[in-house]
Amino acid sequence: MTDVAARRILAQVRTIAVLGAHNEPTKPACYVPEYLHGQGYRILPVNPQLVGEELWGEPVRATLLDLEEPVDLVDIFRRPEHLMAHLPDILAMVPAPAVVWLQLGIRHDVFAKRLEAEGIEVIQSRCTLADHRRFGLGRVS
């Protein structure tokens, strides 16, 4: 994924589902979506262990299929060995997300190729927070 493509994506998306969202401020799955929320993105947290809590003004959902509205991007904070278990849910989302973004350090080429075969753009091993700052995008509206 090129910087141009990553910048385009971050400039276009507005609603982000965060798979593996966390409530511990020292964890990337908390402070990255917190930063994005502060930049005006709508963040929809997904983590079955945190259902019943609210993060970024939204109830935590158990699965991606529990989301009741379309999302532009699924931002994933899960280990590579767990990604294939989430593939059916991503593929069943209606409408499908335009982008699946694997956070820094997360790569899974088979997972990515399967999503790309369905027309979903995939970014691997990049940080949405770091890229947003580096590109100087500012708040979204």
Where do the structural domains in the chain lie, given as residue ranges? 3-135
Whether the predicted pLDDT of 22 surpasses 80? yes
Which residues are 75's β-sheet partners? 18, 101
pLDDT at 57: 97
For residue 44, pLDDT beyond 80: yes
Cα 24 to Cα 89: distance, rounded to the nearest angstrom: 25
CA distance 132 to 52: 30
Beta carbons within 8 Å of 68's beta carbon, 6+ residues apart: none
Confidence band, pLDDT 50/70/90 cuts, at residue 84: very high
> What percent of the chain lies above the pLDDT cut of 70?
100
Q: What is the pLDDT of residue 110?
A: 98
Q: Does domain 3-135 have CATH number 3.40.50.720?
A: yes
Kindly state the average pLDDT of the residues 17-34: 98
Q: What pLDDT shows up at residue 46?
A: 98
Quote the CA–CA distance of 114 and 53 in Å, as a whole number. 32
E strands within the chain? 15-19, 42-46, 54-55, 58-59, 73-76, 99-102, 121-123
Output the pLDDT for position 1.
74
**Whether 55 contacts 21, CB under 8 Å:** yes
What average pLDDT does the structure give for the chain?
97
Please give the pLDDT value at position 141: 79
